[in-house]
Structure 1
Amino acid sequence: MHYEETAHNAVLWAHYTDDELAHLHQSVVASLDPQEMSLVLAWILPSSAAQERLALLSDMRMHAPPPVFDSVLGLARAKLSTTDWHKLAKGLGLPAAPQVWPEYVAAH
């Protein structure tokens, strides 16, 4: 990861603008089918720092269809530790208690 985030990023930033890189990223994400995305997120969500995870899900909340966002929340709930889930839920303004979560999803 360190090599990717230093050497590779340096080459990308030397040849592309931030807007071009964002567009490329969006194109890659859009090319993933739901099964691939679930597999990727199953690794990314528990491995990301709390702020990165919150930023990712906040962006998804704004741009993804509600059923997709709800599915990702369910995956996050299943994959994150209790502490990490509580941080994410608090950041998103969601109830953190597992017994509350199904009722929240059903209502929203």
Structure 2
Amino acid sequence: HCLTRAWELMYLCTSAMPPSKDIGGYLSEYVHNVAYGGNIDDKVQNLALNTLNALKRSVKAGPRYTIPAREEIDALLTGKKLTTIVFFLDETFEEITYDMTTTVADAVE
């Protein structure tokens, strides 16, 4: 149970901010080894895979400028996507799904 909670925290941290360049490579290697290693609890392995994906996205996008809302944290840890409605200047709108690691560039694709 403690290991699962530790991986939830790692997932949350990597979703919100990238590691420093000094430890990024080591962290990525460690997370990769847990995500694709054998004899690891399924829940921990799934969290490690999610962490690895979040790590890649946060390194690419950089740190968030705002603190994650409680709703975003809950959605991240339960695997749910959030939705919002985007209104355009031509008076149309579209509902988009997002999570804590979604950038504007991701949303407009």
Structure 2 length as normaliser, TM-score?
0.29
Structure 1 length as normaliser, TM-score?
0.29
Q: Which has the higher strand share?
A: 2
Task: With a CA cutoff of 8 Å and minimum separation of 6, indicate the structure with the bigger relative contact order.
Answer: 2
